Structures are given as structure tokens and as C-alpha cells.
Amino acid sequence: KQWYQRRVAITAGGGRIIAARTARFCCDLQELFRPSIQHFPAVLSNANRLLASAKLLDVPVVVTEQYPKGLGGTCSELDISHCKVKCPKNKFSMVIPDVQTYLADNGKRKSIVLFGIEAHVCIQQTALDLLELGYDVHVIVDATSSRTDTDRMFALQRMRQAGVFLTTSESIILGLAGGSDHPQFKALQKIIKTAAADTKLLQFPTL
């Protein structure tokens, strides 16, 4: 009942989020996935926008790596030096004990901005787990991908049906800033001055 009441409240609020109540989850953007993930360079570029803006907005970042011993670490071009949690995992979902502990210790963080790979596996399972725990989840579509566009498309559709908010990197950056009076607005403008890299989402007319 409590979970249902929170879902109703989130839906009624239209998914509005506030920086002080938000965390960003960067999922498994690792070196060995580079050759196989659709639009990977563009996904990394947009992920970097999210990471850089998180630092400016004082939004904590949680980073996971899927079996890094075999799949390598996070891609070197991503600056995760300011992340609050970085941990390996074997489970597909990011909702593992270290992450759950961080969330429990930071109870005011009720909105999760989620991006990475793969959309139909780790991102989807993380989103569903977070929804069950009562969080509102915002998946960044231009910083999320899979090995095939078919899997990416249907994963995004399924997550939207489950109650996830789908949005873009620029939308979330400016949404968390709230307005041009934000003290970091000029720095944020530099991040978004160049348009987000194209991940070919417009080929999906049903999204």
C-alpha cells in the first residue's frame, strides 16, 4: 500500500525532481563493451555531460561495473573521480548491498537518474528494483543503449509502462538547475553548448 501511494504521488507530480533529493546511477559503461554497444561513442559523450553536471549541481553519483576482472573498468574518458560509490557486481541490477547501504544512509535521495548499459538487462532490472523500493526513476534515453536497437527500443517501452520517466541528458541537467539564476548556470551552459550526441532515437516512432 505504501509503495502504491508513493507511485500515485509521483505520477501526480509529473516526475519533477530536485537536486537535493536526487542521485545519479551510472551503470556498467566499461571498456570491453565498447565494440558491441550501439551508438557507444555518443552514449559516452552524453554520459560525460551527466557526470560533469552532477558535480556542479552537487548530485551524488553511484557507479557500478559488471564483473570488471573480465570486462574491464569504466571507460577512461568518463570522469568518475567524484563518485560517492563505485563497486563491482555480478548481479545485473545495480541494487546490490553496497548501493542499498548508500541509499539507506541518504534517505532523502528519492529520485534516481539512471543511465548506461544495457538498456534491456542491467538498466531495466535496476529500474524495476528501484520502483519496487519506492524510488522514482528517470532513465536518460540518449545515454543508454544495448547491443541491438530492438532490445533498446523494447526496454525503453517496458520501463515507461512500469512507471519510469524517460528523458534526455539536457532535459535533466536544466531541470535540476531549475533556472538561469542557479549559481552554476554559466558552467552548465558550457556543458550543453554543444548539442547532445545523436543516439538515433528518432528511428523509434513509438517512443
Q: Which residues are catalytic?
A: 28, 89, 122
**85-89 vs 111-117, strand pairing mode:** unpaired
Read off the pLDDT of residues 9-51 as tens digits, 9 standing for 90 and up.
455 457 889 999 999 999 999 999 999 999 999 999 999 999 9
Model pTM score: 0.93
Asked if pLDDT for residue 7 goes beyond 60, the answer is: no
Q: What is the pLDDT of residues 101-133, one digit of tens each?
A: 999 999 999 999 999 999 999 999 999 999 999
Angstrom CA distances, 119 to 3, 37, 91, 158, 180, stand at 24, 10, 15, 10, 32
